Structure 1
Amino acid sequence: MPSRTSLSVVQAQLDAYNAKDIEALLETYAPDAEQYTLHGELLAKGHEQLRSRFLARFKETSLYAKLVSRIVVGNVVTDAELITRDFPEGLGTLEMLCIYEVVEGRIQKASFSLGQKTIHAPTQSAA
């Protein structure tokens, strides 16, 4: 059943992201996978570029993606997430819509749309 496989692949991707496990995360993506802004620019293509993007994000100690809702239609999985991040201006959250296309058991394409950003704790500047 395609949707069950697609669902398990995307869940494994989310689990690996939250564990900051780069190898497990890349295993969920096809070697030539592509990431885009929704209807827009290419963000990364292939494991080498994906690795760089993810490792840069993994440096944030507060990084965590909370699944808010999920819809599965065939081999496409759409997640609404609330991402906790260490922004330059302080700890905050970012709403994100993530659309994953799963082909042969791996994410082939992913598109992301950013929503509202909220800062919860301003960064203290040295005086």
Structure 2
Amino acid sequence: MNTDTTAEALVQRQLDAYNAHDLDALLATYAEDARLFEHPATLLASGTAQLRARFALRFQEPNLHAHLLNRILMDRFVIDHERVTRTFPEGPGTIDLVATYEVMDGKIINVWFLASPKTLDSQS
């Protein structure tokens, strides 16, 4: 089995579910004890219940969308460079994100996020 292909397919399913705002499909790509971190080690969420709460809140943003700019595959790691459109408290805008996904046994077990400063859409 080619680990790169399997990990890449799983992370792509996760990205597709994120963009479809499909919470159940998204959570199906994560291990029950998966953890999300702000790079390098700030824990954002751990386990299905916390992931569900975090993504459910994010999915309330009607313009939420992650556009894949680049992807690197290395063994069980998939590293995505994404441009994410969001609604921030200050208004709509974008943020560039590097997400490093660690995949084991067909599930995402850890994700580390490294984010750029947000860019707000210009107001007319």
Q: What TM-score results when the alignment is normalised by the length of structure 2?
A: 0.96
For structure 2, list consecutive stretches of 5 or more residues without a partner in the other structure: none
In structure 2, the residue corresponding to 1:112 is in which secondary structure? strand
Question: What is the aligned length?
Answer: 123
Task: State the Cα distance separating 1:40 from its structure 2 match.
Answer: 2.1
CA deviations on 1:73-110 (whole Å, 9 max, x unpaired) are 01100000000001122210001110000000110000
Give the letter aligned to residue 8 of structure 1. A
The 8 Å contact of residues 13 and 24 in structure 1, kept in 2 or not, is answered as: yes
Task: State the Cα distance separating 1:116 from its structure 2 match.
Answer: 2.9
The 8 Å contact of residues 32 and 47 in structure 1, kept in 2 or not, is answered as: yes
Map of 1:97 onto structure 2: 98
- Equivalent runs, 1:27-66 vs 2, <5 Å: 27-66=28-67
In structure 2, the residue corresponding to 1:25 is in which secondary structure? helix
Q: CA-atom RMSD, angstroms? A: 1.1
Larger radius of gyration: 1
Identical aligned residues as a percent: 45
In structure 1, the residue corresponding to 2:61 is in which secondary structure? coil
Q: What TM-score results when the alignment is normalised by the length of structure 1?
A: 0.93
Give the letter aligned to residue 109 of structure 2. Q
1:5 maps onto 2:6 in alignment: yes
